[in-house]
Structure 1
Amino acid sequence: MENSEPIVGESDELPSAGDTLVQIRNPRRQDGRDLHYLAENSVMLYWPVHKLNFIEVVASSADEEVIGFVRE
Structure 2
Amino acid sequence: MAKTVILHIVGEDPIVADLDQEPQPTDAYIKVSNLRKRDGKDVAYLTAGVQSVIYPWHRITFLEIMVSEEERGSVIDFFRS
- 1:41 corresponding residue in structure 2: 49
* Structure 1 residues without counterparts, runs of 5 or longer: 67-72
* Structure 2 residues without counterparts, runs of 5 or longer: 1-8, 75-81
Q: Which has the higher contact order (CA 8 A, sep 6+)?
A: 2
Task: Determine which of 26, 29, 39 is the counterpart of 1:21.
Answer: 29
Residues matched between the structures, number: 66
Task: Compute the TM-score of the two structures, normalised by the length of structure 2.
Answer: 0.72
Structure 1's consecutive aligned runs of 4 or more residues displaced over 2 angstroms after TM superposition are 62-66
The sequence identity of aligned pairs, in percent, is 27
Q: Higher strand share goes to which structure?
A: 2
Task: Compute the TM-score of the two structures, normalised by the length of structure 1.
Answer: 0.80
Structure with bigger gyration radius: 1
